[in-house]
Amino acid sequence: MKVYGIDLGTTNSCISIMESGQERVIENDEGNNVTPSVVAIKNGEWIVGAAAKRQQEVNPNTCVSIKRLMGTNNTVNLEGKDYKPEFISAKILDYLVKNANKKMNENIKNVVITVPAYFDDSQRNATKLAGEIAGLNVMRVLNEPTAGAIAYKIDNNDAKKIMAFDLGGGTFDISILEVTGSDYEVIATAGDNKLGGDNWDDIIIDRIKKYCVEELKLEKSFIDLKSTEMRFKVAAEGAKINLSQMNEVEINIPFISMNENGPLHINFKLTKQEFENDSQELLKKVKKVFEDIIADSKLPIKSIDKVILIGGSTRMPMIVELLKSLAEESKINHGLNVDESVSIGAAIYGDSVFNKDSKNEIMLMDVTSRSFGTALDRDVFDILIPKNTTIPVSVSKKYTTVSDFQELIEIEILQGENPVASMNNLIAKFDLKDIQYAAKGVPLIETTFKIDADGILHVSSRDLSTGSEKGLSIKNALQISEKDKEQLKLEFKE
């Protein structure tokens, strides 16, 4: 069985395959290994990838960074119609697969799709749903830092501790793994789902807006228009990329507006030093995640044998310099293409696990990125599965009632680290009815939390006396019924 690896990224996406024992990144129809994660619609026609990115300045019906909305109830309005994030992401997956079909002369169905290690269950299920909408069989949802580590390959059988430092366009993850030959054991993971290259773009966009207000005297209502913001975004991203190689760039956006004297143009210079000064708060966030994972892993930084860089945002010199101040410079590895390594690792993993003829024999033990538990009386968070627990895992615990002759128990499923239940993320809840009619403290309710190999949570509760039972997979927390899923698939094919 052939299984393709897909990195469904915030800024760029990529698809790879193992072919005759060698990994291969598959080019898109424009001959590039990576495809911009940009989707647009024009007069009812969908445009994806580089073609969509080229016209994003002039087409307000363009969607970028959709990955940041995955697993939420937000929608994107394009040409007067609301679309779910999963639908837009399915367009990106469909584009990747159709191009690969042409190159490989195949009908691709089986894929491993990667997600940030810090994605919660709703986000993981949303990613899986996007694949299903695109007509794919999602064999596994794999953490991006883990995939990146697999791509780097460790040449000998000596145990090595590897830090996978993954700063992408919209998310940031760090995982520490112990690698022995083809055995990969994740020790700890930490991250920030709202930190990535987009945030550095925003730093430059703020400078552009300030120039518009102070120098061009433009109204805030105009500056905040989606079409104007899109022009700012394109200019900011270009400046950020150029500042990775240059000490100074010129930001030039012609004909941004008009006044009584004629056309107005944005034109000013930005130095690398100014950009880095403006980025200090973001760098503090990066440093905090680094410090968190060192604390969680209980490993001294000197015990890390190699730091591997993943994600296009690691190209920024300020990120490399920060890493040098936190880890030994000689251990920082720039060996693989940071845009392609995640999809390559996913392809290697998919080949190893699902292809019986594979010469790869990867054994992977991943961990939970956060703690899972339930709310008790007095707003107490009771953790059943702690952060950094090896998966798959199943844990059961017995609870009881707090009032006499209670008729039901509400099970709140929480994710987070705060001992106060209400301060954590509520990812789902359900009522267990028909419980034993008795005084408080008498009924025994057994609740089981189970996390599968995809990192997806399944919860069930059962009254040990009456046998009443109820459960759910967190995929149901997306609030999309099976009927709605089928409707999305039909709509996608139109």
Does the residue 469 lie in any domain?
Answer: yes
- Catalytically annotated residue among 23, 94, 121, 144: 144
**Model confidence, pTM:** 0.90
407 has pLDDT over 70: yes
Does the residue 487 lie in any domain?
Answer: no
> Known catalytic residue: 351?
no
Same domain as 72, residue 173: yes
pLDDT number for residue 480: 67
Q: At 67, which CATH number?
A: 3.30.420.40
Instruction: Count up the domains in the chain and report the number.
Output: 3
Which pair of tokens denotes residue 38?
Answer: 């940009």
pLDDT number for residue 158: 63
* End residue of a domain, out of 348, 367, 386: 367
Same domain as 382, residue 344: no
> Known catalytic residue: 339?
no
Q: How many CB atoms lie within 10 A of CB 419?
A: 12
Does the residue 56 lie in any domain?
Answer: yes
Lowest mean pLDDT among 8-22, 285-299, 428-442: 428-442
pLDDT number for residue 455: 85
* End residue of a domain, out of 278, 300, 330: 278
Does the residue 16 lie in any domain?
Answer: yes
> Known catalytic residue: 7?
yes
Same domain as 190, residue 202: no
Same domain as 82, residue 228: no
Averaged pLDDT for residues 266-293 = 97
Give the range of the structural domain holding residue 222, as residue numbers without chain letter: 197-278
* pLDDT tens by residue, 340-387: 999 999 999 999 999 887 777 889 999 998 999 999 999 999 999 999
At 266, give phi and psi (nearest 5°).
-90, 125
Q: At 457, which CATH number?
A: 2.60.34.10
- Catalytically annotated residue among 120, 166, 198, 463: 166
170 has pLDDT over 90: yes
Lowest mean pLDDT among 51-65, 148-162, 299-313, 466-480: 466-480
Which pair of tokens denotes residue 6?
Answer: 């897909």
* pLDDT tens by residue, 445-463: 999 999 998 888 999 999 9
Same domain as 210, residue 272: yes
Pairing of strands 262-271, 248-259: antiparallel
How far is it, in rounded angstroms, from Cα 125 to Cα 456?
7
476 has pLDDT over 60: no
- Tell me how far the alpha carbon of residue 471 is from its chain's centroid: 27
pLDDT category of residue 490 using cuts at 50, 70 and 90: confident
> Known catalytic residue: 183?
no
